[in-house]
Structure 1
């Protein structure tokens, strides 16, 4: 494989890696939004699904250049909801 082919292959792999990260990150954001909406309504919610996707993102990041995401707990969601409520006042 010549240098040009190697660089092209490397670029393609990085692009594919980042595309997969974007899909996982989008799913994580959707799950966070669902938890926030439930919390705003005063309904029960869980961060388990959020953190399952977060774990997948962290594992995925070990194989490329994508950023990490932190785990989310229920208090973080409640604090964010309280912040949203204060901003609306």
Structure 2
């Protein structure tokens, strides 16, 4: 296999990881906003969907170039809702 082809394949794999990360991170942010909205309304909420996205992001991060994200607790959401 030529060096050019190997580099192209590597770049394509990295690009796929980055695009997957961007989609997961965007979905995670939407779930965070949803939890904040419910919290501010005094309604029940969970962080399950947020952390599902977080776990998928962190699995990608283990492969390199993708940043890790922290798992989110209900307390974190409540604290942030009080500050904003």
**TM-score, structure 1 length as denominator?**
0.89
What are the within-5 Å matches in structure 2 for residues 28-43 of structure 1? 28-43=28-43
Gaps of 5+ in 2: none
Gaps of 5+ in 1: 85-89
**TM-score, structure 2 length as denominator?**
0.94
Compute the displacement of 1:64 (Å): 3.2
Aligned residues: 84
What are the within-5 Å matches in structure 2 for residues 1-89 of structure 1? 1-84=1-84
| Structure with the greater alpha carbon radius of gyration | 1
Listed one character per residue, the Cα deviations across residues 9-61 of structure 1 (whole Å, up to 9, x for unaligned) are 11111011100011111110000000000011111111111111111111122
Classify the secondary structure of the residue corresponding to 1:7.
helix
Matched residues in 1 for 2:53 and 2:75: separation?
A: 18
Runs of 4+ more than 3 Å apart: none
Matched residues in 2 for 1:22 and 1:62: separation?
A: 16
Q: CA RMSD in A?
A: 0.9
Compute the displacement of 1:67 (Å): 0.7
Matched residues in 1 for 2:18 and 2:33: separation?
A: 22
